[in-house]
Structure formats: structure tokens, C-alpha cells
């Protein structure tokens, strides 16, 4: 089974930039999904709508670790970023 990490290696994940603000937030203890959402200026409700899920479910996805490859990929697509930028 191919995982998203395998796909990232095949696609050359080093080409995708992670902004300093996102990295710093994660170092400070913020979940990567939340760090990216805040960096991109999305509200929780907007992300839930983009994912076609309830806000309570989005909050669970945002705070839970680890996430399935499916969830990580779905969130990355909704944010408009590459999966390797979200799962670092």
C-alpha cells in the first residue's frame, strides 16, 4: 500500500515550502492543521464547509493525532496545499 509519505517522496516533497509562521506555531505546540488554517486565514466554519463536514467534526480532525492518510489528504486539498506541507 502506498502512503502519502511515499507519494511525497515520489513527487519531490522538497519543492513545497512551509512558511516560518506555520513552523513556529507547530514548535510552540499548535497542531499543524490549525497552524496552516490560521496562516491561510480560514475560519473553522469555512474549513468544515470546504470539507463538507460539521464544524464539530472539523475541530476533531484539526486536533487529533495521528490522522489517517485520507484525512490528511482531504484537508490539504481543502486548504490548497500539498499533503507534505501539512504532514511534517
Per residue in 5-23, pLDDT (tens digit) is 554 444 444 578 999 999 9
> Domain limits of the chain?
20-79
**CA atoms of 24 and 56, how far apart (whole Å):** 26
**CA atoms of 76 and 88, how far apart (whole Å):** 12
Per-residue pLDDT tens for 38-86? 999 999 999 999 999 999 999 999 987 778 899 999 999 999 999 999 8
User: 46-55: long-range contacts (C-beta < 8 A, 24 or more apart)?
Assistant: 47/75, 47/78, 47/79, 50/78, 50/79, 51/75, 51/78
Amino acid at each position: 500500500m502506498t502512503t502519502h509519505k511515499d507519494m511525497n517522496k515520489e513527487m519531490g516533497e522538497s519543492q513545497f515550502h512551509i512558511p516560518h509562521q506555520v513552523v513556529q506555531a507547530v514548535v510552540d505546540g499548535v497542531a499543524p492543521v490549525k497552524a496552516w488554517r490560521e496562516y491561510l486565514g480560514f475560519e473553522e466554519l469555512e474549513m468544515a464547509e470546504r470539507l463538507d463536514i460539521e464544524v464539530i467534526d472539523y475541530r476533531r480532525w484539526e486536533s487529533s493525532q495521528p490522522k489517517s492518510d485520507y484525512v490528511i489528504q482531504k484537508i490539504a486539498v481543502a486548504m490548497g496545499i500539498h499533503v507534505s506541507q501539512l504532514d511534517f
